[in-house]
């Protein structure tokens, strides 16, 4: 997870310190940084709120979900149903 690693380097923050601040262990942060484990959508949104790191950069699923929601809203405004 390049965005997270870049942030930690820029802020001079250790993985352990970051983990304490977001409520996870250093091992979890290390797994996020090395892309061995994805950051959950909920955690990505928490991190965005606290640190200002774009959640879309932390979890690619967020972009997919946002696009689907936007498509649904647009379809509803146009009166297009899923069965059409």
**pLDDT tens profile 5-61:** 999 999 999 999 999 999 999 999 999 999 899 999 889 988 999 888 888 888 877
- Reduce the secondary structure of 20-60 to three states and give it as a string: HHHCCCHHHHHHHHCCCCCCCHHHHHHHHHHHCCCHHHHCH
Domains in the chain, ordered, with CATH?
A: 2-78 (1.10.260.40)
* Res. 83 pLDDT band, cuts 50 70 90: low
Instruction: Give the dihedral of Cα atoms 70, 33, 35, 46; nearest 10 deg.
Output: -30
Which carries the bigger pLDDT value, residue 19 or residue 82?
A: 19
For the cut 90, the answer to whether the pLDDT of residue 71 exceeds it is no
């Amino acid at each position: 997870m390049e965005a997270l690693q870049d942030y930690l380097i820029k802020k001079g923050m250790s993985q352990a310190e970051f983990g304490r601040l977001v409520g996870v262990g250093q091992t979890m942060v290390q797994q996020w940084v090395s892309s061995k484990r994805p950051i959950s959508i909920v955690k990505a949104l928490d991190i965005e709120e606290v640190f200002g790191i774009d959640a879309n950069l932390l979890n690619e699923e967020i972009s997919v979900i946002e696009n689907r929601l936007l498509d649904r809203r647009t379809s509803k405004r146009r009166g297009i149903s899923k069965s059409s």
